Chains A and B, each alone.
Chain A
């Protein structure tokens, strides 16, 4: 039986190449392992070997052809005694090996394509004003509460007390107790309640006093909010936002200092957003509230009081799934999210003083992850350092590194490096706590080992 010889890939990211040279001609006998052709991309040249014994029956792609897609049949190998009339079927009818019955794209772990490809470029939003992240979050909620009367805020101390961290300041006065709802201290219960409301027509914003307490409620976040659309065959979606401070604050010990980014980013059905600046906070929270899916919105207590310029345009909103290059550079790509963006920018400044040009990417969204922006940056810089406050093992950095390996392996000049919080519960003592969280110098040191 004849077999087709397909255009091979030099690397997981190669999509097409040039058929540089045929080393065998039609009618030549070939044995398994014989070099029959040479292909090349702009990065490398590779020899194509026969994998079976037989006769080269027909050459389908001539020597010198450029832009030959991977897996295109390039020749037909005939078995003993076979003539090539049996091979008249058009090559295109034979599916490429990747088009098997398996629906998941082979070689791509993520079952869904990055959203970034379909997101329009960010428009210019014009005039800005310095506001705190706290104000940005409040303004975002107020704007969406005004825009859509199905939106409501629920959580511990969100109404009368104006928020444990004063994020909901003034909302009770404007929107009343039916839309700004204080709960008993009962995270699992009110989270399930909010999910039930989301499934039946409302658009809840759930404030967790901190994400540490959401661990009590994680069953409803995952089993009810994230999975119901799928389990119900698309009948019931849950437009809901789970928001609150995530990660380490300061001197509050192990049970109050933990980053849940990789926990939630692991879950299909959830979107996960982690703003850094006031503009991130306002634009992304508005998008999260409007999103038809459950969104985990990871804030940071330390950033609440920080001021950043934020567009004053009433329509200002940011797309979920789009990272932002906060600082352009050419020597190394540094990815970070939430408070670590600031730490990464400090490191970039120090590196600049030493003549190293770092590109800092504010991820903004962890799921969908803007793989396109990260990969394009690494193709320019050839080096990757991921930064996160959470633990390194199975963390966000592990995922980013793997995405870069899958999509830009050929461009890497060094193995990706993770800078992360230490692999220990958060200690209480001031000096130990400082040693547990990534500092600008950790990033500087990591980069200097790469360049």
Chain B
């Protein structure tokens, strides 16, 4: 079993981040149903410990690239929740001025290179960010999050090769929730992620994506290897998503009792609470007060987002070019 020998501040921050993601996503699930949020929204519920466990090993100097299911990675990397919510509502106060939306949330100041609407889009970009870290000698590490679906994309396989060939400070985090959209990984993924990593001469780690402590420890090894200049690794995270591929997906391809069992038995927040309170690291009251603070923060973010002004007409034409 993974260790609990973690800085208490890191644990507290991580619990809050996981709770924030959960509440953020559950709230979006409700708000989406009201019809106020347009477009595609992909929820990260059930997967919180993965993004948070990985990013707890990173600083603002490190870079991550995310996926279409990007809210959790953004929050884990420290992107402002209010500005994220406003972005999802398409408001001027959004982190990208309302011009990106759910699938394109980015915050360069946090090393968050962007969610990405293209499956397999992130891994090559993260190789580039890793190359920048290496050539600029800033000590940074670059991490690509991608799913089991993206693990079959040519870009991902090309990136594993490039990162190994050039010994880049990169970590490839495969968030394997068992489904690429509606298609089961058991149908779509040949061989194993482990064998793929081995095929590219890359270190391979795996962990339970519903156990923050396991993810934190295992990803930490991969990240520290990269930081020491020992090259790239793959971290295979086993987890489950609780909602459909996108909001509106009825998940006809999964048994509802399976999803219910995941929620009951593999809830990363419950696991965290049980372990830390049993070990006397936190009291239930302490965690309850975090939960309440997060509820308030999400409520405020939604209220502010709804009240925020829309982008203005001149914003339509800005930021196409730095200069033309």
Contacts and interface: CB of A to CB of B under 8 A. Distances in A.
A413 interface: no
Contacts of B100: 231-233
Contact of A232 (B108, B117, B123): B108
Interface in A16-72: none
Contacts of B158: 184, 186, 188-190
Interface string A230-251: 1111111101000000000000
B319 A193 contact: no
A232 B125 contact: no
A345 B322 CA distance: 35
Nearest to B165: A184
Interface in B103-142: 104, 106-109, 113-114, 117-118, 121, 123-133, 135-136, 142
A102 B313 CA distance: 7
A196 B127 contact: yes
Interface residues of B, number: 52
A236 B313 contact: no
Contact of A103 (B118, B161, B316): B316
A112 B324 contact: yes
B121 A224 contact: yes
Given A112-B317, A232-B100, A232-B114, A192 B129 contact: no
Contact of B96 (A104, A219, A232): A232
Contacts of B67: none
A201 interface: yes
Contacts of A229: 319-322
A100 to B, nearest CB: 10
A104 B315 CA distance: 11
Contacts of B130: 196
Nearest to B154: A188
A331 to B, nearest CB: 33
Contacts of B192: none
18 contacts: A112-B324, A188-B155, A189-B124, A192-B155, A193-B128, A196-B130, A197-B128, A197-B129, A219-B121, A224-B125, A231-B114, A233-B95, A233-B97, A236-B113, A237-B322, A269-B320, A271-B324, A291-B323
Interface of B: 63, 65, 94-100, 104, 106-109, 113-114, 117-118, 121, 123-133, 135-136, 142, 154-155, 158-159, 161-162, 165-166, 313-314, 316-324
Interface of A: 101-104, 111-112, 115, 152, 178, 181, 183-184, 186, 188-202, 204, 219-220, 223-224, 228-237, 239, 268-269, 271, 291-293, 321, 368
Nearest 10 pairs of A and B residues by beta carbon: A196-B128, A192-B124, A189-B158, A233-B97, A196-B125, A233-B96, A292-B322, A197-B128, A103-B313, A200-B132
